[in-house]
Structure 1
Amino acid sequence: MTNDTISDMLTRIRNGNLVGHKVVKIHSTRINYQLIKLLKTEGLIRQYETVVKNGQHFIFVYLKYSTNSKQPIIRGLKRVSKPGLRVYVSTNQIPTILGGQGLAILSTSKGIMTNLQAKTLRVGGELLFYIW
């Protein structure tokens, strides 16, 4: 297991989308669970379930594809804040991704949320990654 579980999760989702997998297996941590739950509420993944195998906890993420062209719903992921270089933004610095087509995911004092929710609540925080 890696030190940066968020990057590991994003890489597994990105690689699963590129190859066309229906399900990817991610190591379960509290932050990964919250991020997957947020992606589900935003409609970027189809479903998720937590599983315990041999004493280890995993999250099975069911990826979502468009019905007519079999293109993945998640077109791109970019990690912003890393363990070696944390990136924090205030309320007025929260970015808009692809003119509102994408999302920035932040870790704030009020929990993990999207850039739109953070602007509405007027809170800043650590900018985790972009997704479009």
Structure 2
Amino acid sequence: MLTDPISDYLTRLRNASKAGHRVVDIPGSNLKRQITKILFDQGYILSYKFEEDKVQGNIKIALKYDKFTKEPIIKKLQRVSKPGLRKYSNSNDLPRVLNGLGIAIVSTSHGVMTSKQAQQEKVGGEVLCYVY
């Protein structure tokens, strides 16, 4: 039994990109699906596909690499809020990652979104992770 499914999700993405894999399979959940959509919209992954095989299904993610250097686009995935220590921020104190070059994914009462979207909607929430 996993105690932190979001950390497992980020670790699977991190390990697959470091190993140079093109596609990674991850057990699905609604929160992971929303995070995957954000990563796709922000340009960190090439594509994704939700498979409804089991109860929750699977998420197939095609990772994105630089055309010339073959380096992964995702340089770092960092879990912020953990089960042992939750991190919450209001709309005024949401973090900026790499001075605006990266994104912070936030779980709010209006759904999962980037910190920039949360600031525009003036909602705070739990800071899940940093991506850059």
Shared fold (TM-score, shorter chain, > 0.5) = yes
Deviations along 1:6-27, one digit per CA (max 9) or x if unpaired, are: 1000000000110100011101
Structure 1 gaps of 5+ residues are none
Rounded Cα–Cα distance in structure 2 between residues aligned with 1:122 and 1:54:
37
Rounded Cα–Cα distance in structure 2 between residues aligned with 1:38 and 1:3:
23
**Counterpart for residue 32 of structure 1:** 32
Matches within 5 A, 1:88-107: 88-107=88-107
**Counterpart for residue 66 of structure 2:** 66
Letter of the structure 1 residue corresponding to residue 114 of structure 2:
T
* Alpha-carbon RMSD: 1.3
TM-score (normalised: structure 1): 0.95
Matched residue SS, 1:93: coil
Rounded Cα–Cα distance in structure 2 between residues aligned with 1:32 and 1:7:
10
**Counterpart for residue 129 of structure 1:** 129
Residue 3 of structure 1 and its aligned partner are, at CA, apart by 2.2
Deviating 4+ runs (over 3 angstroms): 52-56
**Counterpart for residue 86 of structure 1:** 86
Cα distance, 1:29–1:68 mapped onto 2, change above 3 Å = same
Residue 29 of structure 1 and its aligned partner are, at CA, apart by 0.5
Q: Do the aligned partners of 2:29 and 2:56 also contact (CA within 8 Å) in 1?
A: no
Rounded Cα–Cα distance in structure 2 between residues aligned with 1:94 and 1:54:
36
Give aligned-pair identity as a percent: 46
Rounded Cα–Cα distance in structure 1 between residues aligned with 2:41 and 2:103:
13
Matched residue SS, 2:50: strand
**Counterpart for residue 112 of structure 1:** 112
Matches within 5 A, 1:1-20: 1-20=1-20
Structure 2 gaps of 5+ residues are none
Matched residue SS, 2:37: helix
Q: How many residues align?
A: 132
Letter of the structure 1 residue corresponding to residue 98 of structure 2:
L
Deviations along 1:103-129, one digit per CA (max 9) or x if unpaired, are: 110000111010111111111000000
Rounded Cα–Cα distance in structure 2 between residues aligned with 1:56 and 1:130:
25
